[in-house]
Structure 1
């Protein structure tokens, strides 16, 4: 993933420099739209594949997001980016990766998913009667390798099982996303 992250950072840095040159002529809402359209979309592209990647790669992508937040808020580099991200209502990169994986999981469980996703997301069915049988949990597949632990079948189930029951029992995708973002926002900030 190092090459993919490096290419993403290179493209984002190029566009951030160009946006910075015209930023003083743009009002804040316009800067937000431009940054969301160009930078955030690149950070979110295929970011579900980043689950389990090194902390160095995540930190590099987080620096780009922090730079984008500082550009929008016209804040110096010495200021902390955490309050800026909170004010912009942006999740950190790690939470964005988990968010996307959980949205894929929700869609695989509730919408009409492709057959291959149905095979990867299996509801937990205990062999005997347990209280956890009604908690809307998924079966976590066992693996023997680090790559296996980062597969969709394992990560989706483990992330899903760690969610509060209120979020897991949402009846539509919009309310699920809203509750999930609020949950991650509380964790991150």
Structure 2
């Protein structure tokens, strides 16, 4: 018993911090028992509603109430005893059985995308030309010439020579000339030219793009003692042990690229060989020496470099976090189920 400012404090065997129950020997027995008890409570409630839910909606409920609890702070469970990890694995197995309740369930989603593009261009060009030229030339000439000439001459001559002679001569000359000339010239020209040009173009281009995607997920109802691995593989769920390794490796990748807290970045360092070796530029991490594998082997500074160095090179050399997560899950999935 401890006395702190006149208050007596009794040391306990476990303490709760951020939802994680930590015991004195870091076995996490009480924490795992609490997680399994709460998970089974929610799983029973989901099982009552399973007949009224579709697979998609039931899977959302399982991830919200079951998977989230299995993944919360699961990096602390690295190196725990197999009995404790088996308890968590039983929760995941039960969730898979509740989710795949039917005898034979085949989910087939067929997406058929058909794009039919028909382009029709009908061009009709009609050009009609009518050229009419009418020329009428009329020339009328009328020439009239009227001449009237009158000459009246009276000549009187008187001679007196004992004889008286009187000669009177009267001349009247009248000339009337009328000349009329009429010319009428009429020339009519009519030129008519009709041109009709018709050009009809019909261009039809038909494109048909059909893309069919078929996703089929078949689940077979598993009884209590049936093997659950095929169902987990069909659901693409990693077992609990590999989910723990996934979380540790993801934190390691973020720490290397400066996306993790500083206290995690200080726990890992790059491997530098004492002499020039081929592993110098392989992106490996230095694994510290430990005295006890039961205690020191569970530390992040030891477990993270050990798991990181066992990864294939193509997984370690991922450019982004999203690519690393995809490749890492595929690699762990192949380790868990061998496919």
TM-score tier after normalising by the smaller chain length: over 0.9
CA apart distance, 1:117: 1.4
Correspondence 1:20 to 2:168: no
- Map 1:45-60 onto structure 2 (within 5 A): 45-60=72-87
Aligned mates of 1:64, 1:101 — CA distance in 2: 21
Structure with higher helix content:
1
Query: Can you give the 5+ residue segments of structure 1 that lack an aligned partner in the other structure?
Result: none
- Map 1:105-124 onto structure 2 (within 5 A): 105-124=252-271
Aligned mates of 2:29, 2:256 — CA distance in 1: 32
Residues 34-63 of structure 1: CA deviation (Å, up to 9, x unaligned):
001110000000111110000000111001
Correspondence 1:130 to 2:277: yes
Correspondence 1:93 to 2:240: yes
CA apart distance, 1:103: 0.1
Aligned mates of 2:67, 2:259 — CA distance in 1: 28
Aligned mates of 1:112, 1:91 — CA distance in 2: 24
1:26–1:136 distance in 2 versus 1, CA, 3 Å: same
Query: Can you give the 5+ residue segments of structure 2 that lack an aligned partner in the other structure?
Result: 1-27, 102-220
Residues 5-52 of structure 1: CA deviation (Å, up to 9, x unaligned):
000000001000111111111011100010011100000001111100
- 1:60 match: secondary structure: helix
Name the TM-score, length of structure 1 as normaliser. 0.97
Cα-Cα RMSD: 0.9
CA apart distance, 1:112: 3.7
Correspondence 1:153 to 2:301: yes
Q: 1:166 aligns with which of 314, 317, 328?
A: 314
Aligned mates of 2:37, 2:96 — CA distance in 1: 17
Correspondence 1:187 to 2:214: no
CA apart distance, 1:121: 1.1
Name the TM-score, length of structure 2 as normaliser. 0.55
- Map 1:26-105 onto structure 2 (within 5 A): 26-74=53-101, 75=221, 76-105=223-252
Q: Is the 8 A contact 2:258 2:265 kept in 1?
A: no
- 2:284 match: secondary structure: coil
- 1:13 match: secondary structure: helix
1:112–1:40 distance in 2 versus 1, CA, 3 Å: closer
Q: Is the 8 A contact 2:284 2:309 kept in 1?
A: yes
Structure 1, 127-136 or 99-108: larger mean CA deviation = 127-136
- 2:233 match: secondary structure: helix
- 2:99 match: secondary structure: helix
Residues 37-95 of structure 1: CA deviation (Å, up to 9, x unaligned):
11000000011111000000011100100000010011332322111101110000000
Aligned mates of 2:39, 2:271 — CA distance in 1: 41
CA apart distance, 1:128: 1.1
Look at both structures and tell me which one has the larger radius of gyration over its CA atoms.
2
TM superposition outliers: structure 1 runs of 4+ over 3 Å: none
